[in-house]
A and B are shown apart, each in its own frame.
Chain A
Amino acid sequence: MVLESKIPEGPLAEKWSKHKFSLKLVNPANKRKYDIIVVGTGLAGASAAASLAELGYNVKAFTFHDSPRRAHSIAAQGGINAAKNYQNDGDSVYRLFYDTIKGGDYRAREANVHRLAEVSVNIIDQCVAQGVPFAREYGGLLANRSFGGAQVSRTFYARGQTGQQLLLGAYSALSRQVATGKVKMYTRSEMLDLVMVDGKARGIVTRNLVTGQIESHSAHAVLLCTGGYGNVFYLSTNAMYCNVTAAWRAHKKGALFANPCFTQIHPTCIPVSGDYQSKLTLMSESLRNDGRVWVPLKVGDKRKPEDIPEAERDYFLERKYPAFGNLVPRDVASRNAKYVCDEGRGVGSTGLAVYMDFADAIKRDSLKVIEARYGNLFEMYEKITGENPYNTPMKIYPAVHYTMGGLWVDYNLMTTIPGLYALGEANFSDHGANRLGASALMQGLADGYFVIPYTIGDYLAQMPYEKVSNDRAEFKDAEAKVKETINKILSIKGTRTVDELHRELGLLIWDYCGMSRTKEGLTSAREKVRALRNEFWTNVKVVGTNEEFNQTLEKALRLIDFIELGELMILDALDRNESCGGHFREEFQTPDGEALRNDQEYAYVAAWEYEQNMHAVLHKEQLKFENVTPSTRSYK
């Protein structure tokens, strides 16, 4: 299989404009003859569904949530980047492009990233026009902050609830189209398979989560906007129900899965407190602007933080990275927190935490200023931990947060299956091996508002109007297979609960395919994950029936896909004999412990083809850097 990225010819800054011109158009009067299925109504899906309906296409939108407003995008706190340069501090489309490519450790496509930076400015305009109440200055203009170590202030935000406000904006646009009848909305409806007719994506099979009814829906194209797979780790900052099922079922039908081992571990989360823990809470990265990260100098120092004098503290990020200090990229900050804890210098009851201290910031700027900046975050921290961060340092530890990997897509966002597109966190496209803060919201909305409305026309313009009936054998077969899987799971009646097995999977992936990986560890983990798959199919316990609201069955169906994905992540991590971004292989590091990238051999996108029993086949898309020269990321 040859992977055609379809990157347009020409100078970087002109590629997208030229490409838009060369794409075929669907005549306005003919758009209503095409049906498009959009699975997922988070930022990517809601923005795509609304925009496509506005153009005149018939959209059917699906979400397993009870309302589109609940998608995980709602939880994003910090902000969204855009190259507006409102602050006159040297930002530009090119700088945002450059920062994103470099931040991704040179494992993303130049052309895609440049397009993302270009359309970023339109996103802010669009959202403001929808009534998104971004933070403003007294003069009435939009406020910006510097986020996640960026050297310019290009992040737009709405208090600590940026994702919520952006999603509610996209949801309002979607709701308006539902009211016009151009979007038919299916809530509590989960896609369980992709249906192909003559080699093209022509529909999906869903389960109605309230009644258990298995249904088929047909269309001329299918968009997967189904989010990331961070919950393969069980514990993550993702919402509990985020899952990989839609993407994975498409993968099994032929869509290649790219860079699955590129996962992001966020440095500032509230540490795990016990075995019952169901999810991890992110403390916004913006805290690193003022919080100083430290651990005791001595191993096993159990004194209270306020009893440890300055001279006996190790501000390890400031020490190792004087230029960037506490604002080093996420992967670097996370790994270093792990190192000090591995050395036995971690704090808190589990020893798996480091301090983030605001005492100096309060002394410098006053309590009032810090309260205005982080008030609601501090309050949230106190609610969860029972500790007041104004008086005592926060405890934080890294947690899984985002997945850069996802379905392989070309420049048009089409997967290797004709007519199947992937948008938002579900695709692999723009963040390479590490995502910069405030760039996921930007990408989701770029894909949905400003990319897919153009690129999908090119495909549809070449499709006949005829609809395929969902009575066809392809649909009936897919429905039958879904029912068979459900019946099989219900009939096992074993002894292990779904959560138990999921926790076990999560620990395995965290230990062996998390912040630091080795060939040996990965090889043994692969066997363990295979054994777990077997354990699932022989010993899982799910009660009840399909024909009812059955949350355990829902979870079981998602878990089995996570288990298979876990194995693919391991294969991918084994293949990549280098360290880059979120992927750190201990065998490949510099003498002072920094990541050692290998551009000679690994400057490629690893796109995996599904084969029975997880004998995945690797295809490589070579990355070409024509505008930036890959350099070693140095934050010293």
Chain B
Amino acid sequence: MNLNLHIWRQPNGQSAGRMVEYNVKDISEEMSFLEMLDVLNEDLLRKGEDPVAFDHDCREGICGTCSLVINGRPHGPYTTTTCQLHMRSFKDGETVYIEPWRAKAFPLVKDLVVNRSAFDRIIQSGGYVSVNTGSARDANETPIGKEIADEAMNSATCIGCGACVAACKNASAMLFVSAKISQLAMLPQGKPERKRRAEAMVAQMDAEGFGACTNTGACAAECPKSISMSNIAMMNREYTSAKLTSDAV
């Protein structure tokens, strides 16, 4: 199939960007979306032009590196990652718009690549259990009901790609932050620090410049790992009860 692409090009964070039109030919249905971009980039290289920069690595939908807003939707038309989107989802002759994640807290690096280290800083603020190597007791000494373990796992599957932020009109990071807060709040290991964690992570999220949550649910709708809105409800409960009984002075 042949496609008409409109891609956001911007040399770096300091310069202005714009949409540039490209045509790609003989794209196979079996290709992934990123393989289609590989074909474009090989063409550009042969012509001596700068290839389009985009982030990716595992191409298996698990590392969370790939991004792209495709025709207005993070990771394209289905709830999957861009690397797992295949060209059979497109029609011959179609026009496709490709843009980076857009959020103040994700500054642009180049073309379609953004800097998501704000997510790392949020985790650093409290997204862990404080346990040093070697101080753990036998793993089976703390039974955890299967339902709780499964529920925690549902939250833990977040890949940190940032599609939730890109999907939200306020560029809110609530889904990402709540998934980690919920996972750890559900598990006995995470309970001792739950108050401190909720407060610290929410404060860091605000400091990074992510927007507020107005409960539109766009984040969960676009999440490639189907992280549910119930995490946000749980995080709100965690946060409110932490604030009410805060140990912080």
**Residues of chain A having any CB pair with chain B under 8 Å:** 47, 50-51, 54, 65-70, 72, 74-75, 84, 86, 122, 124-131, 133-142, 158-159, 161, 164-165, 168, 171-173, 175-176, 178-179, 185, 187, 210, 239-241, 273-274, 276-279, 281-282, 380, 383-384, 386, 449-450, 453, 495, 497, 499-500, 541, 543-544, 548-549, 551-552
Contact = CB atoms under 8 A, between A and B. Distances in A.
A69 B45 contact: no
B58 A239 contact: yes
A66 B149 contact: no
A174 B145 CA distance: 28
A128 B142 contact: yes
B47 to A, nearest CB: 9
Nearest to B45: A497
Interface in B44-60: 45-46, 48-51, 53, 55-60
A130 B31 CA distance: 39
Contacts of B184: 131
29 contacts: A65-B65, A67-B119, A69-B63, A69-B64, A69-B160, A75-B62, A131-B128, A131-B190, A133-B150, A134-B149, A136-B143, A136-B146, A165-B153, A175-B120, A176-B128, A178-B124, A274-B30, A274-B31, A276-B38, A278-B38, A278-B59, A281-B59, A449-B133, A450-B134, A500-B42, A541-B48, A543-B48, A543-B50, A544-B50
5 nearest A-B pairs in the assembled complex, by CB-CB distance: A140-B143, A172-B128, A129-B136, A125-B136, A128-B139
B195 interface: no
Contacts of A273: 30
A175 B63 contact: no
Contacts, number: 217
Nearest to B123: A175
B187 A133 contact: yes
B131 to A, nearest CB: 4
B140 interface: yes
Contacts of A74: 58, 62-64
B245 interface: no
Contacts of B30: 273-274
Contacts of B53: 549, 551
Contacts of A173: 128, 131, 133
A65 B115 CA distance: 11
Nearest to A349: B30
Given A86-B140, A130-B131, A72 B32 contact: no
Interface stretch (B80-88, B96-104, B166-174, B227-235): B80-88
A552 B139 contact: no
A552 B62 contact: no
A164 B128 contact: no
Interface residues on B, range: 35 or more
Nearest to B37: A278
B153 A158 contact: yes
Given A75-B62, A140-B146, A210-B109, A171 B42 contact: no
A133 B153 contact: yes
Given A133-B152, A549-B109, A175 B128 contact: yes
Contact of A499 (B42, B48, B113, B116): B42
Contacts of A141: 140, 143
B221 interface: no
Interface in B62-106: 62-65, 80, 84, 86, 88
B125 interface: yes
A504 to B, nearest CB: 14
Contacts of B109: 210, 549
B140 A129 contact: no
A544 B110 CA distance: 13
Nearest to A74: B63
A67 B120 contact: yes
Interface string B199-236: 00000000000000000000000000000000000000
B3 interface: no
A386 B84 CA distance: 12
Contact of B153 (A159, A210, A386): A159
Given A171-B123, A175-B128, A239-B63, A54 B57 contact: no
B130 A164 contact: no
Interface in B150-169: 150, 152-153, 156-157, 159-160
A168 B48 CA distance: 40
B39 interface: yes
A211 B183 CA distance: 36
Contacts of A70: 57-58, 63-65
B57 A65 contact: yes
Which applies to chain B's interface (DSSP): helix, strand, loop or mixed?
loop
A131 B86 contact: no
Contact of B137 (A125, A240, A276): A125
A380 B144 CA distance: 29
Contacts of B153: 133, 135, 158-159, 165
Given A131-B128, A138-B145, A548-B12, 6 more contacts: A67-B120, A126-B131, A172-B127, A179-B124, A277-B35, A543-B45
A50 B137 CA distance: 19
A67 B12 contact: no
A549 B190 contact: no
A227 B49 CA distance: 32
Contacts of A276: 28, 31, 35, 38-39
Given A131-B183, A133-B152, A172-B127, A75 B58 contact: yes
B7 interface: no
Most A CB contacts (10 A, CB to CB) among B88, B125, B143 go to B143
A551 B132 CA distance: 37
A50 B119 contact: no
A274 B87 CA distance: 13
A246 B45 CA distance: 27
Nearest to A47: B133
Contact of A128 (B12, B116, B189): B189
Nearest to B54: A551
Contact of B133 (A84, A126, A158): A126
A409 to B, nearest CB: 20
A183 to B, nearest CB: 10
Contacts of A279: 59-60
Contacts of A50: 133
Contact of A122 (B42, B60, B130, B134): B134
B11 A548 contact: yes
A130 B128 CA distance: 7
B49 A543 contact: yes
A210 to B, nearest CB: 6
A67 B32 CA distance: 24
B19 interface: no
A444 B84 CA distance: 28
Most B CB contacts (10 A, CB to CB) among A127, A158, A240, A449 go to A240
Contacts of B61: 380
Contact of B56 (A67, A179, A240, A384): A240
B138 interface: yes
Most B CB contacts (10 A, CB to CB) among A65, A74, A161 go to A74
A449 B133 CA distance: 6
Nearest to A160: B62
B23 interface: no
A175 B109 CA distance: 23
A313 B38 CA distance: 39
B129 A453 contact: no
